[in-house]
Amino acid sequence: MKKLLSIILFSSLILCSGYKHVPNFTIDATTNASRHNTLGIQDVAEKDYCAAIQEFRIAIGLNPNTQSSAVYFDNLGQVYMTLGYANMAKDCFERAIKLYGLNFAYYQNLAGCYNKLNMTNAKIAQFRKSKNPYDKILLGLLYMSEGKRQQGIMTLDDFCLSEPDLIITQGIRNYLSGITKIKQ
């Protein structure tokens, strides 16, 4: 009887112990980076630029060399431009283009940054000699910012004709369409 009672007691102890399997949690840096970018955008909306800079830096640190981090660099560069740190913004915009060179807004931001830093003429000379077809985009935008509208339109149109199948080409066409309608 003692043996039977001890077996029942032992089995009830096992059954009633409340053991629960602990779930596995995975930490996903990509998801966390996206979350920090979203928090940075909220901080910008609230005009809390210091917090936004920190959030964008965290997002970049969590996911440094991907296409999505180009967005984080661009967002960080825009905050720097808002605060008047064009030199720091330049680095961010250049990195954004290096990570994902098919977003026309990145080129527009970088051209505006070069203009703010009074580097327009030097960059025009540099990009005029370049063999990289993407440098034509910046060249056209820099011409536009210097008031050489016709040269800018022709340079950007030349890029569209030479690279008709790229994703960025449609963005440039939309830009040119808007520019020609406004200034006629």
Q: What is the DSSP string of the chain?
A: -HHHHHHHHHHHHHHTS---PPPP----HHHHHHHHHHHHHHHHHTT-HHHHHHHHHHHHHHSTTSHHHHHHHHHHHHHHHHHT-HHHHHHHHHHHHHH-TT-HHHHHHHHHHHHHTT-HHHHHHHHHH---TTHHHHHHHHHHHTT-HHHHHHHHHHHHHH-TTSHHHHHHHHHHHHHHHHT-
Q: What is the pLDDT of residues 116-159, one digit of tens each?
A: 999 999 999 999 999 999 999 999 999 999 999 999 999 999 99
State the pLDDT confidence band at 14, using cuts at 50, 70 and 90: low
State the pLDDT confidence band at 7, using cuts at 50, 70 and 90: confident
Q: What is the pLDDT of residues 86-98, one digit of tens each?
A: 999 999 999 999 9
Q: Is the pLDDT of residue 72 over 70?
A: yes
Q: Which CATH architecture has domain 101-184?
A: Alpha Horseshoe (1.25)
Q: Could you tell me the fold of the domain covering 29-100? A: 1.25.40
Where in the chain are all domains bearing CATH 1.25.40.10?
Answer: 29-100
Q: Is the pLDDT of residue 11 over 70?
A: no
State the pLDDT confidence band at 27, using cuts at 50, 70 and 90: confident
**Average pLDDT for residues 11-37, to the nearest whole number?**
76
- Both structure tokens of 29: 């840096």
State the pLDDT confidence band at 84, using cuts at 50, 70 and 90: very high
Q: Is the pLDDT of residue 19 over 70?
A: no
pTM given for the model: 0.84
Q: Is the pLDDT of residue 73 over 90?
A: yes
The answer to which of 1-15, 71-85, 128-142, 163-177 has the lowest mean pLDDT is: 1-15
